[in-house]
């Protein structure tokens, strides 16, 4: 969900610039900072961004820079004349000396260098500004798509690694069953005074070995791997679902580890957990 976009355009001596950036978030957390002239369009801008981005902690800025001609603050000539006349009248009324520096005195009077005109947003200017907003948001969307394509390749690599590791368990699994049987028999032989029913022993060993069987976990994990891939290829807006599937994959891997009482199998489980952890970290970046 991370991304960045920026666009600008000029309109009648103004440079209009829009900037938008996003970080990971479970929902859309949008904050906007707009130049005063565009504040009336805040809801419209929010609607555009929400529709395009859906999720993420999004910061949006829209500001205006004036050209040198436009940026120069005009001197309020009428106000200067009014201040001049008032000072002249006070000087005459109270018999005071006139200022030696009339210009320095007048230019420091309140609002002489303040803009008194009220700016109104025209339809033409808003059309230009709206297009700038669209361009910036589209840049962020394109950025996200590039990141998403790279993530998909990364996920596929991790899924393939887990599938390969899962398949590598099988020879150790068969070897483990025989080792368990031999260990139980050898332990019983080490106690010569103990008599036991061989048929009952066989039944107990079958029960014990079945409790350690991981075929169901392997099948469910295989299904989750396939479902993750199908969901990933199903389009955008699947981030939460991929997160849920990754959690279920973790359950099966953990159960497999708890049943794997053999060093080689446990090492493989640790490697699968490492691959899955990398998926969980990156799935936060998916919308």
**Residues 251 and 215 both lie in one domain:** yes
Q: Are residues 55 and 102 in the same domain?
A: no
Are 254 and 270 in contact by the 8 Å Cβ rule? The answer is no
Burial level of 169, CB count in 10 A (0-12/13-18/19+)? Answer: buried
User: Could you tell me the pTM of the whole model?
Assistant: 0.65
Residue 259 lies in a domain: yes
**Range of lowest pLDDT (12-21, 126-135, 179-188, 266-275):** 179-188
**What is the percent of the chain where pLDDT is above 90?**
48
In a domain, 177, yes or no: yes
Cβ-count burial of 252 within 10 angstroms (0-12 exposed, 13-18 middle, 19+ buried)? Answer: buried
SS3 per residue for 72-93: CCCCCHHHHHHHHHHHHHHHHH
Q: List, for residues 99-113, the tens digit of each pLDDT value.
A: 888 888 888 888 777
pLDDT for position 280: 92
Q: Do 164 and 258 lie in a common domain?
A: yes
Q: Please, which pLDDT band fits residue 171 given cuts at 50, 70 and 90?
A: confident
CATH of the domain at 32: 3.30.230.10
Indicate if the pLDDT at residue 241 is higher than 80. Answer: yes
Helices 123-167 and 263-283, axial angle in degrees (round to 10):
180
Looking at the fold, whether 177 and 201 belong to one and the same domain comes out as: yes
Query: Is there a single domain that holds both residue 99 and residue 181?
Result: no
pLDDT attached to residue 263: 85
Q: What is the pLDDT of residues 141-163, one digit of tens each?
A: 999 889 888 999 999 999 999 99
Of residues 259 and 235, more confidence is placed in: 259
From the CB of residue 67, how many other CB atoms can be counted at a distance below 10 Å? 12
- For residue 212, what pLDDT is reported? 77
CA gap 245, 208 in Å, rounded? 30
Token couple for 112? 């002489």
Are 46 and 83 in a shared domain? no
Please tell me whether residues 221 and 178 are part of one structural domain.
yes
pLDDT at 201: 66
217 half-sphere exposure, CB direction, 13 A CA radius: 23
Q: Do residues 8 and 33 share a domain? A: yes
Phi-psi region of 75 (alpha: psi -120 to 50; beta: other; left: phi over 0): beta
How many domains does the chain fold into?
Answer: 3
Q: Is residue 118 part of a domain?
A: no
The helix/strand/coil state of 234 is coil
Are 135 and 186 contained in the same domain? no
Any domain includes 115: no
CA 64 to chain centre: 28
In a domain, 23, yes or no: yes
Structure confidence by residue, pLDDT tens digits, 43-75: 999 999 999 988 889 999 999 987 755 556 677
Alpha carbons within 13 A on the beta-carbon side of 137: 20
Q: Same domain for 14 and 42?
A: yes
Residue 53 is part of which domain span? 3-70+123-143
Say yes or no: 136 and 182 in one domain.
Answer: no
The 10s digit of each residue's pLDDT in 79-96 is 889 999 999 999 899 898
The more confident residue out of 19 and 80 is 19
Asked whether residue 127 is assigned to any structural domain, the reply reads yes
**The predicted structure's pLDDT at residue 156:** 94
Q: Is the pLDDT of residue 209 over 90?
A: no
Report which of residues 234 and 58 the model is more confident about.
Answer: 58
| Residue 112 belongs to some domain of the structure | no
The yes-or-no verdict on residue 242 having pLDDT over 60 is: yes
CA angle 235, 59, 46 (to 5 degrees): 70
**With the C-alpha atoms ordered 90, 92, 96, 98, is the resulting torsion angle positive or negative?**
positive
Confidence (pLDDT) at 117: 53
Q: Give the Cα separation of 87 and 79 in Å (integer).
A: 12
The model's pLDDT over 181-208, given as tens digits with 9 standing for 90+, comes to 777 777 767 777 666 667 776 676 666 6
Instruction: Using alpha carbons only, give the angle 273, 278, 283 rounded to the nearest 5 degrees.
Output: 120
Whether 245 and 176 map to the same domain: the answer is yes
Is 116 domain-assigned?
no
């Amino acid at each position: 969900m991370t991304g960045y976009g920026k666009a600008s355009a000029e309109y009648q001596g103004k440079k209009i610039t829009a900037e938008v950036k996003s970080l990971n978030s479970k929902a859309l957390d949008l904050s906007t900072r707009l130049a005063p002239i565009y504040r009336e369009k805040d809801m419209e801008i929010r609607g555009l961004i929400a529709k395009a981005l859906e999720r993420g902690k999004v910061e949006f800025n829209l500001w205006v820079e004036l050209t040198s001609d436009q940026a120069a603050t005009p001197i309020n000539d009428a106000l200067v004349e009014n201040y001049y006349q008032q000072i002249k009248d006070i000087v005459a009324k109270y018999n005071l000396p006139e200022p030696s520096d009339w210009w320095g005195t007048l230019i420091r009077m309140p609002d002489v260098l303040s803009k008194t005109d009220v700016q109104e947003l025209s339809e033409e200017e808003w059309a230009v500004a709206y297009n700038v907003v669209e361009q910036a948001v589209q840049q962020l969307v394109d950025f996200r798509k590039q990141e998403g394509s790279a993530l998909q390749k990364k996920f596929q690599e991790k899924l393939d690694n887990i599938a390969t590791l899962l398949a590598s368990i099988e020879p150790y699994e068969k070897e483990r069953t025989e080792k368990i049987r031999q260990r139980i028999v050898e332990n019983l032989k080490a106690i010569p005074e103990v008599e036991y029913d061989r048929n009952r022993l066989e039944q107990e060993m079958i029960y014990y070995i079945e409790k350690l069987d991981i075929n169901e976990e392997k099948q469910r994990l295989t299904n989750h791997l396939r479902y993750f891939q199908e969901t990933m290829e199903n389009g955008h807006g699947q981030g939460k679902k991929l997160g849920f599937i990754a959690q279920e994959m973790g359950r099966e891997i953990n159960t497999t580890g708890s049943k794997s009482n053999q060093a080689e199998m446990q090492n493989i489980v640790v490697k699968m957990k490492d691959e899955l952890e990398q998926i969980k970290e990156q799935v936060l970046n998916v919308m």
